Amino acid sequence: MSRILLQTTIPPTEDDWSIARFGLLRDSLAALGHQVTARDRQVDASGNDPVLSNLSRGQFDQVWLFAVDVGDGLSDGDCAGLVRFRQEGGGLLTARDHQDLGSSLCRLAGVCGAIAAAHHFHSINPEPDPTRHYPDDQDTPTISYPNYHSGRNGDYQEVTVPEPVHPLMQRADGQPIAFLPAHPHEGAVHAPDETAQVIAQGQSRVSGRSFNLVVAWEGGGAGRAIASSTFHHFADYNWNAAMACPSFVTEPPGNTMQTEPQSLADTLRFMENLATWLHGPADAVGAKLTR
């Protein structure tokens, strides 16, 4: 089992997407036997987060980084710690959201440089296709692109899994995962070079355009890594909209994550796969995922 750090890029804030909003994920990973540490960003006298800036495989096996900031969520010291951690073989998941939310990820460099390049924002590293430089979501005009509308918070979205099906996107019986939580305005990720692989895609319920949900890296002498289009795939409110959300969330929620049992089952399977796959490339890991 793994030692997993769940970390946001903002300080503890009751009315925001702080780590308290990811309790179902924390509990599901702990129930699988993983040792889970869940925390928000803290800043020391040097402006660094004392955990991120001093990361090592001696502390954790993987980091799930939820970039919920507006550009100031990682210091140079934090980025150096994340780079060092991945160089040591640590697994790294990065997740952001719409427009410029989570754009501090663009500060990553070194062995994490491709991860930074995979995340596209409004003001930094925009999508290379200019025809995508417009708001896909039409219901919240205050949020600009990228903002792909995969459905309501609390609803599922149907996902497309490219062939060959990556082990992360497999159910226990080997069939592809078909559902993940939806969100009205997901961000944009892509595979920036041949070291990366798009392993899941969604489709806008507004424009019909496809967009990438999950990009994966393995090999190259560094720890495995993931870029996710939105941290809402991991948030309590998107698994069950009966749970609380920040007051600035005004879109009406859905409930099909609760009415379609396979949607939550697929989501939990994806989380289980992530925790196993990010731990490392040992043969036993691959065998477990493909059983």
**DSSP per-residue codes, 3-51:** EEEEEESS---TTTT-GGGGHHHHHHHHHTT-EEEEE-----TTSS-TT
Query: 23-31 and 261-277 helices cross at what angle (nearest 10)?
Result: 70
Q: What is the mean pLDDT of the chain?
A: 95
pLDDT at 261 over 80: yes
pLDDT of residue 283: 36
What is the value of pTM for the model shown? 0.96
- Cα 37 from Cα 195, distance rounded (Å): 29
pLDDT at 281 over 50: yes
Mean pLDDT of 246-266: 97
Domain limits of the chain? Answer: 3-290
pLDDT, tens only, 109-166 = 999 999 999 999 999 999 999 999 999 998 999 999 999 999 999 999 999 999 999 9
pLDDT at 208 over 80: yes
CA distances from 54 to 14, 79, 81, 138 (A): 26, 10, 5, 42
pLDDT, tens only, 77-107 = 999 999 999 999 999 999 999 999 999 999 9
Closest CA to 276 of 266, 264, 261, 286: 286
Q: Do residues 61 and 86 make contact, with C-beta atoms less than 8 angstroms apart?
A: no
pLDDT of residue 191: 98
- Cα 233 from Cα 226, distance rounded (Å): 13
Between 3.90.228.20, 3.40.50.880, 3.40.50.300, 3.10.180.10, what CATH number should domain 3-290 receive? 3.40.50.880
CA distances from 177 to 57, 59, 67, 267 (A): 30, 31, 25, 8
For residue 198, the cross-strand partners are 215
pLDDT of residue 286: 40
